[in-house]
Chains A and B, each alone.
Chain A
Amino acid sequence: MVGMSGWKKFGVVCIFLAPSFIALVAFSLGPMVGTAWVSLQDWNLIRPARFVGLANFRELWHDEKFHRGLFNTLYYLVGYIPLVTLGGLAMAVLLNTRVKLVSLFRAMYFLPVITSWVVVSLLWRWLLNPKDGLVNFLLRKVGIHGPGWWTDSTWAMPSVILASAWKDFGFVMVILLAGLQSIPETLYEAARLDGAGAWRQFRLVTLPLLTPSMFFVLVISLINGFQVFDQVWVMTPNGGPGGSTSVVMEQVVKNTFDYGRAGYASAMSIVLFAIILIVTAVQLRMQKRWVFYG
């Protein structure tokens, strides 16, 4: 360690830390405090703000539209997380072998991850177009009359879930693949010596040792999933048919910029943030029950 003392050290620390610290306060910590402050105001961003205390939160408590937004966000999570986890797991397991062209397949499976949400949403809006979309065309070929997808209030959210999972399979795959490759081969050998077949090896060796990676995937997907916005905004504009895909973030943006209700929108942000914190904390608590650290 380079020795220094007093003001000189203070100066050096300042030089190194000041740029990021100022940015941190200005664009992250400050606005966080700002969100809390704005959530107590009645403010359309034009007139001066008026302090209303917890009125915004009380209104949220009774606002059916907001409840719908919360419900839709949960609906999204309940569909998206199992789908993307299982799909990503399947891909990772398939690619965790000595097949040729592994890196080619992996690169292909990963391509949607680097694509912007706007492109993915437009693309799937078109593929799932009820009239002349590819998916319904293929379904018709096998004798199924495809649903109205994003034009239909029942199928709009499943459409969003499908597109989102497709985009993120590769992401889950990469994380789980890393987990799979760190499982020592000796464990499989031992299992085989004990007469375990492929399925038992998977269940008794692979799955338990993969739980740390799975846990990581779950924590990240939940945090990101609660904030779902881009794909909903582009695939199903204006909250979708009958408000069936109106999620919390969509309502935050609408309330701030269209309805002139910045305070109310901030209250929504606070509620969302609180939910994310609680869910993450619960997950951290629960991990002892199922996550296996070798």
Chain B
Amino acid sequence: MAETIVERPVALRGSTELHEADGTLPKRPVMRGRKIRTRLAGRYLILVVGAIVMIGPFLWMINASLKTDRDIQQIPPSILPNPATGTNYTRVVNAFPFWRFMGNSLVVSLLSTFLQLFLASTAAYCFARIEFKGRNLLFGLYLATMMIPLQVVIVPLFIEMRNLHLVNSYAGLLLPTIVSSFGTFLMRQAFMALPKDLDEAAHIDGAGHIRIFFKILLPLTAPSLATFSVFAFMSSWNAFLWPLVITRGSQEHMTLPVGLSLLQGRYQTSWNVLMAGSVLTIAPIVIFYVFTQRWVVRSVAFNASKG
């Protein structure tokens, strides 16, 4: 296993240069005349077709969410909603405590992200900056857990939560997600990249490890923290299996994706209502994505392993 881990950064080295790639690529010798123009046109054509395939379904989803019950059942389907209606959205919001689901998702995702950052960076600092016996062994243990997917431990995890009386609670949703070995790995790399003179100087000035960590080194790892938190937030927002299992039987702490899957049970074939629910579910994360696009693309390339 260790091999994959060591190779990961090599495979992804290019990803740091990835963002805003336009125009930054190395020059190719200039081809002249018509040949290059037709080639470019062909490339654009394929790119546009690709864009239609990737974006079209989302547009069709928004389109459907605005259609009336009669309109949605038309064969062949009408191209634009006629008349456009917002009732599907009110139906979604009334059928389930949708705002509550959204609030739950937000609370759980934010807390999970914060705790992951905290646990990963404290552990990473320890592995990068303090020498102690058994350090490598312990770090190896952290990395090894990367190979243990939630899927495999879901049964005992559920039993554990039940024994702790945490089924249907925020803590139950949250706790199994807070430790990220990959985050630890990423943050350790970030700390190791910082020059040691920094902490030595601080130590001479009388600062202890806790001060060095919080005041000096942690702020300098901001890019890694940002990358990691974007990823943690997204995967937490989209998580399905664990929230499904731990909130079974009660809507109080249900998150948005689980709520949406419930909606499917009630509105089997009312695609306009289901699509309205889908639009509401992805709207926050899409807005988040628009503002953090650069970090998102990077963080996925970095964190590919956690899926």
Query: CA of A31 to CA of B10 in the docked complex: distance in angstroms?
Result: 32
Query: CA of A95 to CA of B212 in the docked complex: distance in angstroms?
Result: 43
CB distance from B63 to the nearest CB of A (A): 10
A102 contact from B21, B118, B159, Cβ within 8 A: B21
CB-based contact B153/A269 at 8 Å: yes
Q: Whose C-beta in chain A lies nearest to the C-beta of B44?
A: A99
Q: Decide if B83 is an interface residue (CB 8 Å cutoff).
A: no
Interface stretch, picked from A74-82, A142-150, A176-184, is A176-184
B241 contact from A170, A171, A220, A230, Cβ within 8 A: A230
Q: A-facing mask of B147-188, CB < 8 A → 1, else 0?
A: 111011111111110100000000000011011010010000
Query: CA of A221 to CA of B160 in the docked complex: distance in angstroms?
Result: 30
Knowing A1-B196, A23-B119, A115-B238, the reply to whether A171 touches B300 (Cβ < 8 A) is yes
In the complex, chain A residues whose CB is within 8 Å of the CB of B20: 103
Knowing A103-B21, A256-B158, the reply to whether A20 touches B184 (Cβ < 8 A) is yes
Q: Decide if A27 is an interface residue (CB 8 Å cutoff).
A: yes
B7 contact from A31, A212, A253, Cβ within 8 A: A212
A97 contact from B25, B57, B76, B244, Cβ within 8 A: B25
Knowing A27-B176, A230-B240, A284-B4, the reply to whether A220 touches B305 (Cβ < 8 A) is yes
Query: CA of A29 to CA of B176 in the docked complex: distance in angstroms?
Result: 11
Query: CA of A35 to CA of B152 in the docked complex: distance in angstroms?
Result: 7
CB distance from B186 to the nearest CB of A (A): 13
Q: B-facing mask of A94-119, CB < 8 A → 1, else 0?
A: 11111111110111111111111111
Q: Decide if A223 is an interface residue (CB 8 Å cutoff).
A: yes
Q: Decide if B209 is an interface residue (CB 8 Å cutoff).
A: yes
Number of residues on chain A facing chain B (CB within 8 A): 109
CB distance from A103 to the nearest CB of B (A): 6
Q: A-facing mask of B113-139, CB < 8 A → 1, else 0?
A: 000001110110110011110000010
Q: Decide if A19 is an interface residue (CB 8 Å cutoff).
A: yes
CB-based contact B160/A111 at 8 Å: no
In the complex, chain B residues whose CB is within 8 Å of the CB of A37: 156
Q: Decide if B17 is an interface residue (CB 8 Å cutoff).
A: yes
CB-based contact A94/B47 at 8 Å: yes
Q: Which of B193-235 contact A (CB under 8 A)?
A: 196, 199-200, 203, 208-210, 212-213, 234
CB distance from A179 to the nearest CB of B (A): 6
In the complex, chain A residues whose CB is within 8 Å of the CB of B154: 252-253, 256, 269
Q: A-facing mask of B279-307, CB < 8 A → 1, else 0?
A: 00110011001000100110011001101
Knowing A16-B209, A122-B260, the reply to whether A116 touches B307 (Cβ < 8 A) is no
Query: CA of A97 to CA of B51 in the docked complex: distance in angstroms?
Result: 16
CB-based contact A17/B122 at 8 Å: yes
Query: CA of A126 to CA of B46 in the docked complex: distance in angstroms?
Result: 26
In the complex, chain B residues whose CB is within 8 Å of the CB of A103: 20-22
Q: Decide if A229 is an interface residue (CB 8 Å cutoff).
A: yes
Q: Decide if B91 is an interface residue (CB 8 Å cutoff).
A: no
CB distance from B229 to the nearest CB of A (A): 15
In the complex, chain A residues whose CB is within 8 Å of the CB of B43: 94, 97, 99
Knowing A17-B123, A27-B176, A38-B159, the reply to whether A111 touches B21 (Cβ < 8 A) is no
Query: CA of A232 to CA of B108 in the docked complex: distance in angstroms?
Result: 25
Q: Decide if B60 is an interface residue (CB 8 Å cutoff).
A: yes
Query: CA of A249 to CA of B242 in the docked complex: distance in angstroms?
Result: 12
Q: Which of A26-41 contact B (CB under 8 A)?
A: 26-32, 34-35, 37-38
Knowing A2-B203, A12-B209, A230-B241, the reply to whether A29 touches B289 (Cβ < 8 A) is no
CB-based contact B152/A273 at 8 Å: yes
Q: Decide if B275 is an interface residue (CB 8 Å cutoff).
A: yes
A213 contact from B11, B53, B240, B260, Cβ within 8 A: B11
Query: CA of A17 to CA of B44 in the docked complex: distance in angstroms?
Result: 52
CB-based contact A31/B156 at 8 Å: yes
Q: Decide if B89 is an interface residue (CB 8 Å cutoff).
A: no
Q: Decide if A131 is an interface residue (CB 8 Å cutoff).
A: yes
CB distance from A129 to the nearest CB of B (A): 7
Q: Decide if B106 is an interface residue (CB 8 Å cutoff).
A: no
Chain B contacts to A: CB under 8 angstroms: 1, 3-4, 7-8, 10-15, 17-18, 20-23, 25-29, 40, 43-44, 46-47, 50-51, 53-55, 57-58, 60-61, 64, 73-77, 118-120, 122-123, 125-126, 129-132, 138, 141-142, 145, 147-149, 151-160, 162, 175-176, 178-179, 181, 184, 196, 199-200, 203, 208-210, 212-213, 234, 237-238, 240-241, 244-245, 248, 256-258, 260-261, 264, 271, 274-275, 277-278, 281-282, 285-286, 289, 293, 296-297, 300-301, 304-305, 307
